[in-house]
């Protein structure tokens, strides 16, 4: 009887702690590898691409290329985050690629827009 009560006590106390820990971990989708500045840049570039198409400052072909670049950078960031915390070197690389893409978005129609390697 005592063993059953002890087990019940462990379950009643321990289970909420485990669930709370898992909930806290799950509530942070990036599991603390999240860089808000990079995410903000993703959002800002997406808005600029959308606005550029609407205003006509980007052709659909140009928009498709810079959108593809942005999607590739996002995928790279997700892959790096899956491997763990982003290092300063990885953040620098992502920011450099975002800088290049940003310049391509900024330029007017018919400028050289290419995939970022």
Does the pTM surpass 0.85? The reply is no
Tell me the three state secondary structure of residue 86: coil
Q: Mean pLDDT score of the chain, rounded to an integer? A: 78
Q: Residue 30 to residues 47, 60, 82, 91, 97: CA-CA distances in angstroms? A: 22, 32, 8, 15, 21
Residues 6+ apart with CB under 8 A from 32: 85
Q: For 48-90, write each residue's pLDDT tens digit.
A: 999 999 998 888 899 999 999 999 999 999 999 998 889 999 9
Note whether 101 and 45 are within 8 A (CB).
yes
Note whether 52 and 58 are within 8 A (CB).
yes
Give the pLDDT mean for 18-38. Answer: 53
| Model confidence at 18: pLDDT above 60 | no
Q: For 93-102, write each residue's pLDDT tens digit.
A: 999 999 999 9
How far apart, in whole angstroms, are the C-alpha atoms of residue 65 and residue 62?
A: 5
Measured CA angle at 81 (ends 78, 84), to 5 deg? 160
């Amino acid at each position: 009887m005592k063993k059953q009560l002890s087990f019940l006590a462990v379950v009643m106390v321990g289970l909420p702690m485990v669930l709370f820990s898992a909930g806290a971990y799950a509530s942070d989708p990036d599991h603390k590898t999240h860089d808000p500045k990079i995410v903000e840049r993703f959002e800002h570039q997406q808005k600029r691409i959308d606005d550029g198409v609407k205003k006509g400052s980007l052709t659909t072909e140009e928009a498709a290329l810079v959108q593809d670049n942005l999607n590739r950078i996002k995928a790279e960031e997700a892959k790096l985050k899956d491997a763990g915390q982003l290092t300063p070197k990885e953040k620098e690389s992502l920011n450099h690629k975002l800088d290049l893409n940003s310049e391509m978005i900024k330029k007017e129609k018919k400028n050289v827009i290419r995939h970022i390697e």
